[in-house]
Chains A and B, each alone.
Chain A
Amino acid sequence: MSALAPNRIARLRLDRWAIALVLVAIYLVGLVLSPSAFGNPVYLLNTVRQVTPVGIAAIGVTMVMIIGGVDLSVGAVISMTVVLSAALMDGAASNMPLAIAVACCAGILMGAINGALIAFSRVSPFILTLGTGIALIGLTQMFTGGTARGAVAPGFREVFNARLGGTLPVLALFLLGLTAVGLVIEKRTLLGRHLFLLGSNAQAARLAGLPVRGITIAAYTLSGLFAALAGLALLARSGVSSTQAGQGMEFQVLAAVVLGGTTFEGGRGGIIGTVIGVLVLGLAFNLVNVMGLPYHAQLVVMGAIIIAASALYGQLGGAGN
């Protein structure tokens, strides 16, 4: 019996926390370049508020990616819930519960459809969810006829954008709460363990008698639900519905999840990493913005940060091919 040497344990920790190191590094760079911004809690919490929609959606997508899938339809689901809930609210506070409930159900339905199609076939989830996402965008546009219908109920935006004690935004709390929910699912429930088992080895999971299809559907359904909640958060943030609200968000979400150490192969990673990944992207975007780089330079820097951060992570032994 060979005992494990201590440096192996240290190394494992390093793998897991690589993305946190990246976060700290970016933060320190920000602090040096713009102490007034990055030293200011109001500013930092505002960054959290900005990334809330992406962050919430990323929690759901993490669960899907743990089982080795991927969900590119989240952008479309976000757009759909934004439009749908605004249309149902129709400017009246009394409609709010109904609108929120329907939006969540729509997200769940879309997720369940994705999950069922994937569970009962052998198609690539990447292309399948790309397809269902495109279809959903079209359906949303048909529903609206091109103008964003409806209006946000009074108070909806105000409540979510309020700052408790003048610093802590309610939206950030919303993200925190949903992160906690996601963490409980991941770490403490049967489903959470099933996600990892299925993602680690689908064949073995089937042989071990796990309800593979049920797990798949559950994961995608959760992704749909979290995307719907992200849509509500986005509606709260932007205050207006738009058929393009979630356009392209799926790639930000994907970048964050992968940065956080959840791989496309599945079986590893987790929500903590994802949330840190989201924050890395948020801080990076703010950093280039605060530095006053023009729009196009921002794109270059963003791309470079995504590559560099995941390269650093890969070098530390985490992701990779």
Chain B
Amino acid sequence: MPLLEAHNLSKHYAGVAALTEVDFSADAGEIHALVGANGAGKSTLMTIIAGANTPSEGTLSLDGVPLRHGGPAAAQAQGIATVYQEFSLVPHLSVARNIFLGREPVTRLGLVDRAGLIAQTCALLDRFAITLDPMAEVGTLSVAQQQMVEIARALSQPARILILDEPTAVLSLAEQENLFRIMRRLRADGMLVLYVSHYLNEVLEIADRITVLRDGRIVGTRKAKDLQISDLVQMMIGRDAPVAPTAADSPERAANFVITYATHAGQQELTMQAGEIVGLAGLVGAGRTTFGRAIAGLHRPGAIATLTHEGALLNNSTPRQAMRAGIAYLTEDRKKDGLFAGLDIVANATAAALPRTTRGGFRRPQVERAQAEAVLKRLHLVAARLGMPVAQLSGGNQQKVVLGRALMTEPRLLICDEPTRGVDIGAKAELHQIIRDLAANGAAVLIISSEFEELQALAHRIVVMRDRCFVADLPVGQADQQEMLIAASGGPTEKETA
């Protein structure tokens, strides 16, 4: 008998069918992957199983016994642990308090056993070889570290089912390897791991069975070893995979950007050419985001970036100044500082370039709309109406809107921080093509990505960062994954930068 069974599940959001008549089953002791394009309904299915969401129709059963819906607490009590796609941490609290939230150990007096809490946390982190400071406030951690906290929290529960909704989207290689190790170990212990990911090669590597969702319906469940990426893509989007992208040729060496990055460790320099795409690789916490934000005017003590363009100093003292100097930054945390969630697509797309559409301080809605439409068309945005709230778009389309906002400012230097995180394979290829076009039109582009394939497909040059320093600078042809990992994790490198 399958461990988990869903029968005839449907979920409707005010007029949108997120899931339609889904029948699904998974066994103990397997890693079962779920794939599908953005908005296919993967997260919806996962949140329903986790008890955080109520189905409109249908039933769930565990070991053949129907599950009664009783919220996340009830699901947890029945052995379902979950890492949600969106962050589910409390930023003000420490790592330890987050991990054992709701399950704190108590002393005989009935008070929380603080020493025990720390000890248990340390034990847990050690057991799974996760490096985190149990006392650190979660809000101060990087996105990847926060993701590890979430994973640790799920692992801390005595569970029979572990749900991982896109856990690797923000992880870098080492963490990812560690996570896969952990997943295999849990499988060996007879646990069911439900795994959602857009990285199809990862999925094929780790999963036993794969279920494909499209438009809220199940397309099919197959054994992983019987499948190729192309089969999966065919199932997911109903047509063949987009042509695999390759790195473009190096551009003419022209108009130089010289970026000087001053940190506690000293000063270093990075140069970029107009039309060039530079990839920035590194492990979690290497300091890539901090560097990118510093260029864009979000300096912090110990992370000051100054830059010159053809020898002339650009003013990037604030994001506003940086933007005026032609620098645009695409954030890695779309929800937190990318989207204006309550506003419509036009407002989101035009936010940075509004003055261009106004006359004498007065808005011209038609002009705004026309300009937004033009850009978003170039990005192949899929939306019912331009007037709909951006929060109702799928993740990939949200990313396109935010990218569109950056493009509308016609940047000379674009910094993309994890531009395709959580974006499905079709949209990803489109985004890549857009970035290439932009570079071809003369912009310098800095791509921060934790995905080696992405850097290889896009960049002309890959710079590796470790511990806030640039430790290697390789033309893309010479960079293989092995060598980059060594550089990023502190091994000997061939080419050190200044």
A/B contact in complex, CB under 8 angstroms: yes
B337–A5 touching, CB < 8 Å: no
Looking across the interface, which residue of chain A has its beta carbon closest to that of B18? Answer: A2
Q: How far is the CB of B315 from chain A (nearest CB, A)?
A: 12
B340–A200 touching, CB < 8 Å: yes
8 Å CB contact of B15 from A4, A192, A207: A4
Contacts of B339 in A (CB 8 A): 201, 204
A196–B361 touching, CB < 8 Å: no
Contacts A4-B385, A7-B14, A209-B324; is A196 near B343 (CB within 8 Å)? yes
Which of A26-34, A107-115, A170-178, A183-191 participates in binding chain B? A183-191
A8 within 8 A of B: yes
A205 within 8 A of B: yes
Chain B 207-244 residues near chain A, CB threshold 8 A: 215
Determine the distance from Cα of A196 to Cα of B342 in the docked complex, in whole angstroms. Answer: 9
Contacts of A193 in B (CB 8 A): 347, 354, 363
B362–A188 touching, CB < 8 Å: yes
Contacts A189-B361, A207-B319; is A2 near B16 (CB within 8 Å)? yes
A268 within 8 A of B: yes
Contacts of B405 in A (CB 8 A): 208
Looking across the interface, which residue of chain B has its beta carbon closest to that of A187? Answer: B363
A190–B337 touching, CB < 8 Å: no
Determine the distance from Cα of A73 to Cα of B347 in the docked complex, in whole angstroms. Answer: 31
B195 within 8 A of A: no
B338 within 8 A of A: yes
Chain A at the B interface: mostly helix, strand, loop or mixed? helix
8 Å CB contact of A207 from B17, B298, B361, B382: B298
A76 within 8 A of B: no
Number of interface residues of B (CB under 8 A): 38
Contacts A1-B382, A7-B14, A204-B339; is A188 near B363 (CB within 8 Å)? yes
B363–A3 touching, CB < 8 Å: no
8 Å CB contact of B323 from A6, A11, A209: A209
Determine the distance from Cα of A208 to Cα of B296 in the docked complex, in whole angstroms. Answer: 10
Q: How far is the CB of A313 from chain B (nearest CB, A)?
A: 16
B341 within 8 A of A: yes
Determine the distance from Cα of A191 to Cα of B360 in the docked complex, in whole angstroms. Answer: 11
A190–B362 touching, CB < 8 Å: yes
What 1/0 mask marks residues of chain A from 194 to 238 whose CB sits below 8 Å from any chain B CB? Answer: 101100110111111111000000000000000000000000000
Contacts of A209 in B (CB 8 A): 319-320, 322-324, 352, 409
Contacts of B355 in A (CB 8 A): 190
B132 within 8 A of A: no
A267 within 8 A of B: yes
Contacts of A5 in B (CB 8 A): 15-16
Determine the distance from Cα of A193 to Cα of B344 in the docked complex, in whole angstroms. Answer: 12
Looking across the interface, which residue of chain A has its beta carbon closest to that of B331? Answer: A207
B358 within 8 A of A: yes
Residues of B within 8 A of A (CB): 14-17, 215, 296, 298, 319-320, 322-324, 329, 331, 336-343, 347, 351-352, 354-355, 358, 361-363, 382-385, 388, 405, 409
For the complex of A and B, the 3 pairs showing the least CB-CB separation, nearest first, are A209-B323, A5-B15, A203-B337
Known: A197-B351, A210-B351. 8 other contacts (CB 8 A): A3-B384, A5-B15, A190-B362, A192-B363, A193-B347, A206-B319, A207-B337, A209-B409
User: Can you report 26 A-B residue pairs in the complex whose CB atoms are below 8 A from each other?
Assistant: A1-B383, A2-B215, A4-B16, A4-B384, A6-B15, A11-B15, A188-B362, A188-B363, A189-B361, A190-B362, A196-B347, A197-B347, A197-B351, A200-B340, A200-B342, A201-B337, A201-B341, A205-B351, A207-B329, A208-B323, A208-B351, A208-B405, A209-B319, A209-B409, A210-B352, A267-B341
